[in-house]
Amino acid sequence: MSLETNFAVPGEPALAIDARGIWKAFERTQALSGASFALRAGEIHALVGANGAGKSTFSRIVSGHLSADRGEIFMFGRPTRFGSAREAIQGGVTMVMQETSLAPDLSVLENIYLPELGAAGRLSWRNLTSRAESLLDQFGQRAHLPLRRPVRELSAGQLQMVEILKALALDAKVIIFDEPTASFSPNEVDRLFDIMRLLAQGGKALVFVSHRLEEIFEITDRITVFREGRTVASAAPAAEMRPAELVRLMVGREIADIYARGVDGRGEKSTGKPVIEVEHLACAPRVKDVSFTVNSGEILGLAGLIGAGRSECVEALFGLRRIERGTVRLSGSPFTARAPIEAVRAGIGFIPEDRRRQGLVQDFTVRENLLLAHLGQRRSLGLGYDERSASVARLLEELGLPQRILDEGILTLSGGMQQKVVLARWILMSPKLLILDEPTRGVDIATRSTIYAMIRRLARQGMAVLLVSSDFEEVIGLSDRIVVMSDGSDVTSIPSALVDVEKLAMFAAPRSSAEATRSILEMLVQRFGGIAYWISMDGDRLYCFDSVAVQNAPEIGFARGSFPEIVDVSIPRALRQRPDRFLLEPAGATLLVPLRGHRGHDLGYVGLTLANDNALPDAAAVRASILDGPTTPATSVAARRH
Amino acid sequence: MASEIKTGPQLRPSVLRRLLRGAQLELRMLLLLLLLAVALSLISPYFFTLSNILNLMDQSVITGIVAIGQTFVILIAGIDLSVGSLTGATGIILGLSLAELPLPIAILAAIVAGGLAGFVNGFIITKGRVAAFIVTLGMMSVGRSMAYVLSGANSISQLPDSLGDLASSTILGVPTNFAVLVVLYGVAWYYLTFTKGGRTIYAIGSNAEAARTAGLRVDFYSVLVYVISGALSAVAAVFLAARILSIDPIAATGLELDTIAAVVIGGASLFGGRGTIIGTFIGVVIMVLIRNGLNLLNVNPYWQGTAIGSIIVAAVLLERFLSAREGMHRGQGEEG
């Protein structure tokens, strides 16, 4: 250790990372102009900024992937300059990337210890396994991550977990999470946040790079904001910052509620005739039985978690997958697209989920990317670009894109601008139905509000819009109506005014994560008969997320997926009073038991209604059997004791 | 980065500058070509004689025609190893047909046969999802074998003089075969630059998935490029037979490698999406110049393979180097 080690102020621990005046240019573009950043050990620090603010560049400099043109970085008080990502890892800095850098054919275990595989000598698999298991135990993840499984078979959340473990195996002191939740389901986000908290408690310094404001406020201790390569807010305590303030810092101006609906508010809009009617659609392996209708002028949200089959469902409508069963009617007549071109010619536009893989032709200019769908549907030999030049110019104007970018390569644009180009490509075709699959993933907040405004205006002009999104706030904010999908089937169709993020998440819960409640319900009807259900109540309305009934169970007026007003169901008294014993009504005898999640949040009620002619079981016994839960070990739902 | 692009009145970048930027690679290769020509004319007094120039033109024709098809295939990130043996096989078909049929019909028969073989290649690659390398390697073997079977392993000679006119006649002082070559390059250039099909081919090579999602007919054009390549192999066979009025089942062996080399030297990426027909033309001429130069310099023929091989690898290295630099430049647009 050199003398420099201890020049920090006595009594105050040296900062884990102290970066000052970092400059970085790429050819003509100045990415960072004197940015600074101070990270303490044991904290979770948000690094926030709009697209192009330089946060990715900065993360890559700190983690050794790039080198700065100018500036100093101190790590625990010592000047540091990593020549490569490898050096940074050895120095204790790791970046967990959005797109993982794992070897897909190797097992989880091999990936975690990949850096050690290069070491000389024989590997002790037993030793590695026990080390990995103790790491997993430390974070309570042993049940979620099978060490022997090849990485290619893992979910997005599990991949990220492997990346994190890989960092921990190398004894990382600073871990940078670069938009880790972009492809996560809410459950996975929860799990990641639990792990991040444990890491911070263990003294690690964490950087959380994200666009999602609600996540930033949930998980981080302090916030640093970058704008145009400069630090505009440095290490501000998260508890003292308001979301509106943060947005203003990010974009440099006030942005009204990005979901603002303008004059014609939600619900007042009249929607037109059905544009697409989907009935009992199935296409292996994910989509099992989906039905919904989108009317002209309507924005229908297709909500659900990753793996629920939403993307597969819309890809089938667009001819990218084969439909196995079910019928689709477009403007009233039967329709099946065997290839996208048939869907395009029939008047469907499709903005795919993965912009880089399915959206952009990387070698083309902005103009050719913009006119790609035009080219595809064209029947004559020539290009016909000129016919479209007036509408192209108008569209660029509307989307706030400068005309002169037309002849630039598409990859010179930021992610948000690229997405605008893909959107414009389809608007140009004036489709009857526009399908948007995760239209704002990785898009900054300013661009998002432009995109939302555009989508809303298209719907006002009579276009039918089908929106697929994992971002429940976005679905609720943008859609008129929401169809929730879970495990390949539609669970409910609900006006977005009647639902909030929590209820949507419960409707969308896949069997795997709702297994606990599902098996409680099954156990209840098996043991006591009648109908068992998982519900939540909000004011005068009831939401039923799941229900299980025996034959000739009492008729209670709701079932899985329904959301009636309490006055309209057959057991209103029990639902209002929720006593801790069976309450008798004409329809049956009802007992409700409240549920809590493992982090203490409200998960609604499990209810059991039995026919009145049955001998009633002891309420305490029923509650006890719910408390003890089903036999599945993965139970994370426990009933609240009174 | 987004912050760099600002709205507002802007001067249009000059058309010339844009053209130059788009054609940078071709310009570099053209420069290389001119340097080669100057060097050769300094070294050998014979180089700039009419007979050698005519000789150069003649030698460009076969490789040049087949390289057009190879460019189409490489633009969609494919490869066609069967062109050499298809030239041999369709040459034999031409020779056999000429015994029975008038010249235009015989030529048509050869071209249809070449196109059919290309269709088989393209269909299996596209619909069967087998690697182009494997399928065309198989067709390469089948084609050569068919050439032997159909010809009984003998060369076919004494072809009609009307065929020979294609090689010996001139149009406006330019040898007919070279004129045809130039016209074919003109058509191919126009097709790739100004038509739906051409742009679709580029889009497929750059990102087939995105092209399909935008409603482009990816499968159709993926098969079409192999049909074009097969058919052009037959066109090359016609000019090959016309040159010596004889065709041998072993003809055009190794042509696939020369054409791939020409395309790659011309700046196309074997990963598809990048490359131009003009670049390919320059690549063909460079290949011919190098061979010609090595002959003029009396380089031992055994050494010529080493020289040509080294040049091909050097050209690809250059391409990698340049696209890596470009890749860094592109990296700016990616934001996380």
CB B218, CB B212: distance < 8 Å: yes
Domain boundary among A446, A474, A506: A506
Asked if the C-beta of B18 comes within 8 angstroms of chain A's C-beta atoms, the answer is yes
Report the residue from A340, A383, A400 with minimal CB separation from B199.
A383
As given in the structure block, the two tokens for residue A61 are 């400099």
How many domains are there within chain A?
3
Please, what is the average pLDDT of chain A? 82
* CA distance linking residue B327 with residue A189, whole number of Å: 33
* Same-domain check for residues A370 and A421: yes
Pairwise CA distance, residues B19 & B259, whole Å: 26
Cα dihedral across residues A324, A325, A331, A333: positive or negative: positive
Tell me if A413 and B333 make a contact (CB, 8 A cut-off): yes
Please report how the helices A445-460 and A415-427 are oriented relative to each other, as an axis angle in degrees rounded to 10: 10
**Do A498 and A380 share a structural domain?**
yes
> Is A386's Cβ below 8 Å from some Cβ in B?
no
How much of chain B is in helix, strand and coil states, percent to nearest 5? 75, 0, 20
Question: What is the rounded CA–CA span in Å between residue A244 and residue A405?
Answer: 31
Q: How far is A355 from chain B (nearest CA, A)?
A: 8
What integer pLDDT is reported at residue A498 of this predicted model? Answer: 87
CB < 8 Å to B268, chain A = none
Nearest C-alpha of chain A: how many angstroms from B209?
5
Write out chain B residues lying below 8 Å of A423, CB-based.
none
Residues A523 and A492 in one domain: no
Does A600 lie in the same domain as A456? no
CB contact, 8 Å: A365 with chain B?
no
Residue A2, pLDDT > 60, answer no
- Domain span including residue A436: 296-314+339-506
Instruction: Answer whether B213 sits within 8 Å of A352, measured CB to CB.
Output: yes
Q: What's the complex ipTM?
A: 0.82
Query: Does residue A304 sit in the same domain as residue A426?
Result: yes
d(CA A295, CA A279): 15
Helix H segments across A202-321? 213-219, 243-251, 310-317
Taking only the tens place, the pLDDT of each residue in A189-214 is 777 888 889 889 988 999 999 877 77
pLDDT at residue A240 greater than cutoff 80:
yes
Per the model's pLDDT, the better-predicted residue between B168 and B222 turns out to be: B222
pLDDT value at residue B63: 95
d(CA B293, nearest CA chain A) in Å: 36
Say yes or no: A10 and A61 in one domain: yes
CA–CA gap between residue A533 and residue A576 (Å, rounded): 16
pLDDT of residue B19: 57
Largest CA distance in chain B: 73
Chain-chain contact of B335 with A51 (C-beta, under 8 angstroms): yes
Q: Is the model's pLDDT at A46 over the cut of 50?
A: yes
> Which residues in chain A touch residue B217, judged by CB atoms under 8 angstroms apart?
339, 341, 376
Residue A438 CA to residue A469 CA, distance in Å, equals: 5
The reply to whether A18 falls in a domain is: yes
Q: What is the pLDDT of residue B47?
A: 87
Model confidence pLDDT, tens digit, residues A378-415: 888 888 888 888 889 988 888 888 888 888 888 888 77
In chain B, the residue whose alpha carbon lies closest to the alpha carbon of A415 is B335
Give me the residue from A345, A383, A416 closest to B196, CB to CB.
A383
Give me the pLDDT at residue A350, please: 95
> Does A475 lie in the same domain as A399?
yes
Q: Per the domain annotation, does A427 fall within a domain?
A: yes
**pLDDT class of A164 with cuts at 50, 70, 90:** confident
Continuous segment of H or E residues that includes residue A204: none
In contact, B89 and B147? CB cutoff 8 Å? yes
Say what the alpha-carbon torsion angle A485, A487, A490, A492 is, to the nearest 10 degrees: -70
User: Coil, helix or strand for A174?
Assistant: strand
**CA B18 – CA A408 distance, rounded (Å):** 10
User: Which CATH number belongs to the domain containing residue A618 in this structure?
Assistant: 3.30.450.40
Residue A46 distance to chain B (closest CA, Å): 14
CA of A524 vs chain B CAs: smallest distance (Å):
48
- Please say whether the beta carbons of A457 and A264 come within 8 A: no
Binned at pLDDT 50, 70 and 90, residue B14 comes out as low
Pick from A450, A480, A506: which residue ends a domain? Answer: A506
**B4 interface with A at CB cutoff 8 Å:** yes
Mean pLDDT of A217-221: 88
Same domain flag for A57 and A206: yes
Smallest CA–CA distance from A373 into chain B, residue: B214
Question: Do A345 and A449 sit in the same domain of this protein?
Answer: yes
What single-letter amino acid sits at B299? V
A587 located within any domain: yes
Same domain, A343 and A432: yes
Q: B194 vs A383: CB contact, 8 Å cut-off? A: yes
Asked if the C-beta of B215 comes within 8 angstroms of chain A's C-beta atoms, the answer is: yes
Nearest to A361 among B211, B215, B336 (CB): B211
Instruction: Supply the DSSP symbol for A427.
Output: H
* Segment among A196-205, A312-321, B318-327 with least mean pLDDT: B318-327
CA angle A170, A176, A177 (to 5 degrees): 110
Q: Is residue A165 part of a domain?
A: no
Q: Quick check: A414 contacting B, CB < 8 Å?
A: yes
pLDDT, residue A386, reads 85
The answer to whether residues A519 and A478 belong to one domain is: no
CA distance B90 to B62: 13
User: Within this chain, do residues A501 and A519 fall inside the same structural domain, yes or no?
Assistant: no
Boundary of a domain, candidates A489, A506, A523:
A506
CB-nearest to B335 from A52, A339, A358 is A52
For B60-252+269-276, which CATH superfamily applies? ABC transporter involved in vitamin B12 uptake, BtuC (1.10.3470.10)
pLDDT: which is higher, A152 or B283? B283
